[in-house]
Amino acid sequence: MSKSKAPERCADEAPVVILVNPQLGENIGTAARAMANFGLSKLRLVDPRDGWPNERARKAASGADWIIDGADVFERLEDAIADLHHVYATTARPRGMTKAVITPEEAGRDMRARVQRGQRLGILFGRERWGLTNDEVALADVIITAPVNPRFASLNIAQAVLLVAYEWYRHEGAEALGMETDEAPAQTPGLKMPGSRPATKAELIGLFEHLEEALDEADYFKSPDMRPVIVRNLRNMLHRAELSEQEVRTLRGIIRTLSGLRKKRAGAASS
C-alpha cells in the first residue's frame, strides 16, 4: 500500500481530531502519525501558529500524508466544531467548572456507542505550552483526563492523541486481529427519540448566543467581571442536557417570545 494513501479501515464515522492553535509543525505531524496508527484520519487545525501547509508537519508524519493533505484549517474553534454533535476536550488540570470528567478508556466506549447512533464526534487538543482555555473547554460536552503521574502530568500533543486514539480503536482493532475481548457492549445515556437527532454544535452555539444576547438586553449580567463565569456555567448546563435539534428550536422560540414580551411591556410603560 502506498504511504500517501489512507488505509481502507479508516472509517468515515471515526472521530475528528481538532488541534487548537498548534505551534510547531513537527507536533502536528507526529499527531497525524499517532492518528494513523489507530484508524483516525480527519484532522482539523484551528489557527496554527506557523500557518498551513507546513512541510515540517509532513516530514514528521512519517508517511501519514493522507491526513496532512486532508487537514482542514479554521480561524475559530466554533467553526471547527459547528457540524459535530458531541465534543470531548482533553486536559490534565482541574477547570473549576461543572462538567463530566472521564478517562480515555471511558471515552473510547462512549465514542463507539455514539458513532453507532449516528453522531459526529470531535476531540479537542490544546496548545503545547498551556493547553485549552476555559472558554474552549466550555464548548465541549465532556473532559477527558488520563490518569498520569501527578508529579509530571504534562503530555505532548502526539502522546495525548495516541492515548485517546488507542482507546477509540482498541475494540475494533482486537476484532480485526481475531482477538477475544471481555468488554461489554457500550451503553450510554442519550437521545433515543425516533425521528429526532442530537443538536449540532452550530445549533447549540446559536442557542448560547441567542440566550446571552437576550440576557444582555435584560441587564441580567450585573457585574462585567462575572459575565464570563456565568456564561460558561450556562453553556455547561445546556451541554449536559444533550439537547436535540427540536429542543434547541423550542428553546429559541421561548427566548424570542419572552424577549418580545419584555419589549412590548417596556414600550407600553414609556408611552
- The series of mean pLDDT values per 10 residues for the chain, 271 residues long, is 42 87 94 95 96 94 95 96 96 76 93 92 92 92 88 85 93 53 47 68 92 91 88 89 89 89 73 62
In this prediction, residue 69 carries a pLDDT of 95
Instruction: Mark out the alpha helices in 95-226 (DSSP H runs).
Output: 104-116, 134-138, 157-176, 201-217
In this prediction, residue 175 carries a pLDDT of 52
Residue in this structure with the C-alpha cell 410603560, named with its chain if needed: 269
Strands 121-125 and 43-46: unpaired
- The values of phi and psi at residue 234, to 5°, are -65, -45
Question: How far, rounded to the nearest angstrom, does the alpha carbon of residue 263 sit from its chain's CA centroid?
Answer: 36
Whether 163 and 35 have beta carbons less than 8 Å apart is answered as: no
Integer Cα distance of 108 and 50 in angstroms: 31
Integer Cα distance of 204 and 209 in angstroms: 9
In this prediction, residue 190 carries a pLDDT of 46
- The CA-atom distances, in angstroms, between 184 and each of 30, 107, 113, 171, 181 are 32, 14, 11, 10, 9
